[in-house]
Chain A
């Protein structure tokens, strides 16, 4: 997809929230949804299983209005975290302009985080995209849990953030770090305007 259409004067950013199951991707979108004025947001589409897990994906369109003469829209997606929904993840990842990797800060979920990160790299490659060129930020969610259960942001950076991309500690349930993360990925995505390199 085209990130910036100068002729139509449109900026459309597709941002995908990626991560292992139950890491809080949909919670991020819900928090954003509740804070965006009604006039600026579209209908949030959630396709969930009976157990309330994301089966296909969540989709939240946000209209930021005219910015520098460009009609600016953000489209936020989540992928299903469960391992067996890889086809859906790959589909949603297609055409993404940026990725938010939502990691679960719980120590026992570290392996799932690493696995999901590898899966992200693999799926991007399927689309011919080098993960090193894709705007990416890390969000370490559930930092509100007891310290003994979670890893610190620094530990998680060491374990997961091998590219040293911006990382954000978060408590998506209460909103901490949600907009900071969104702002972080937005900046990275929009900075690609200056280079003019096509998005994935």
Chain B
């Protein structure tokens, strides 16, 4: 249905002049920042001036920057045809969904919306949907939106809300440049002055200019003789240059056709005279000034050159200026990652004050607080492996070896207390050892709280920048995103950006993402699209390993019987295992007795702790007489066995 982008229509093959510079600059900007710069971008011009070329060039450039982008080019007629076909097939909704998922939509010949109310409504709906989802739409027409007959006011408003730029008829210099480039592309060469003669004719569009060039190429090929200026005039029917003043004929002057051409001829002559009169170096400097001012950079340094009579080393001065501009671009790009708002500062557009730009960039670098780092309490070596966590641990090793390459994202799932947080932080610590690594490792709750604070402080851009610079993002307890729509939106965007840049993403969750409630489908699908590695209840082998380490750390001599007894206890998590070891060791300390299997049995299987005699149940939270709130649960020394607790909870 859609048309493939013509490989010849790129920005590199487009000759830029004063008449089309704005459109090209806007197109490049959109290609570099689809959905965020000018949306929609509306380009209009007469036929044959390069609308379609620029439109396709945007597609090529965007694709070159981000190959995964879904880019589609089509004319309005193709769009209408596809829509009608979809409606006829009862697939209207599928049609809409299909276009709403396009990252950069390029629509040509929009002027044919005239008298098509139905399509206008459809395009309005699509434009709104694309804008809302941050997708780019670029449109081209042979006239501005306000001049498209019978166009819905809402569409005019929507189009005008982005950027509307036109492409004018190229000036003489641009025509010469176009002719030279096209002649070179076709392997044709002409005598000096030939192309300039052609360029003096004000063809209404580039297509006709190319037609003239084609005729010259064909003529020269047939005759096997290089054309001179006079021959070119004959081939193209260009009138001869004005003769001597006394040769002017009253008849010729008074005829309407001749009269109409008098001004054009005068303009051509004046152009040639000015071209000769303005020194070449001034033309080069002026061109540089126009170019860079067109891109928004101050050109005071170059303008000062123009005020001099004969400045020395003009080309060196221009080269130095360009070098400074490139440095400014680099600084601005760096700052844009750290703090997008700061990137718009005018100091990054003034090559005459490089020191200020460097200082501003340094300030942003210093001020950009790094995202929360993984906790040092969870070294990777201390995470013990058993059959129950083997898959997750091996995935972790792969991720550490090739971050962002092998599995991305990784979702570690398992019940509470199985070591998900430990493993998450352990991976983060290992990733952080890599060169230039910025590892963001935090709980989802903290992530949400930070975003709320950023919204409150009007620093959302800054907040985003913190995470966009991360080489790895590790979020614990992703299920806490449920119902947090804005955070899910932010995470979705961040997710895409980081994955696009091959940055590693790791999440933990209590269950498979597709079973979690309250998460948006687009988040779930992305989580499921990576590796979901499950950590099961600790197996006996793992329990023994954990017990050995725990007992050793408590300076307890490890008796096989003790180890067997504890390892066989009905526990469901490493955290529970830690709890029972703690109880046994403390009981032994209280009785001043060695830790043995018998003692452990007495402690763990003895009479349950006396229950509170109060006849009512509470939340377990009490208010201290000293003020503040304390958890009763945290004050209990003799924790009941987990089996008992389950029963208690079920009562």
Contact = CB atoms under 8 A, between A and B. Distances in A.
B245 A167 contact: yes
B576 to A, nearest CB: 80
A107 interface: no
Interface in B35-94: none
Interface of A: 4, 6-7, 9, 11, 34-37, 40, 64-70, 72, 144, 153, 166-169, 171, 174-184, 186-187, 190-194, 196
Interface string B367-411: 000000000000000000000000000000000000000000000
A-side binding surface: helix, strand, loop or mixed?
mixed
Contact of B262 (A4, A11, A68, A175): A175
Contact of B274 (A70, A177, A184): A70
Interface in B287-338: 287, 289-290, 303, 306-307, 309
Contacts of B265: 179
Interface stretch (B276-284, B458-466, B502-510, B643-651): B276-284
Interface of B is mostly: helix
Interface stretch (B230-238, B249-257, B518-526, B527-535): B249-257
A6 B263 contact: no
Given A180-B248, A182-B266, A193 B278 contact: yes
Given A68-B286, A176-B254, A6 B307 contact: yes
B246 interface: yes
A176 B270 contact: no
Given A9-B290, A175-B259, A193-B278, A67 B248 contact: no
Contacts of B273: 186-187, 190-191
B437 interface: no
B242 interface: yes
Interface in B160-209: 171-173
B483 interface: no
A40 B254 CA distance: 21
Residue from A35, A72, A166, A196 whose CB has the most chain B CB atoms within 10 Å: A35
B227 to A, nearest CB: 26
30 contacts: A6-B306, A9-B289, A11-B274, A67-B172, A67-B270, A68-B173, A68-B271, A69-B278, A69-B287, A70-B274, A70-B286, A144-B250, A168-B245, A169-B245, A176-B254, A178-B253, A181-B245, A183-B242, A183-B266, A183-B270, A186-B270, A187-B269, A190-B270, A190-B274, A190-B277, A191-B273, A191-B277, A193-B278, A194-B276, A194-B277
B453 interface: no
A176 B249 contact: yes
Interface residues of B, number: 39
A34 B260 CA distance: 9
A153 B254 CA distance: 21
B274 A67 contact: yes
Contacts of A184: 245
Contacts of B211: none
Nearest to A194: B277
B570 interface: no
A156 to B, nearest CB: 12
A15 B283 CA distance: 25
Contact of A176 (B250, B266, B271, B274): B250
A56 B271 CA distance: 32
A191 B274 CA distance: 8
Of A166, A176, A178, most B-chain CB atoms within 10 Å:
A176
B504 to A, nearest CB: 51
A7 to B, nearest CB: 5
B275 interface: yes
Contact of A174 (B254, B274, B290): B254
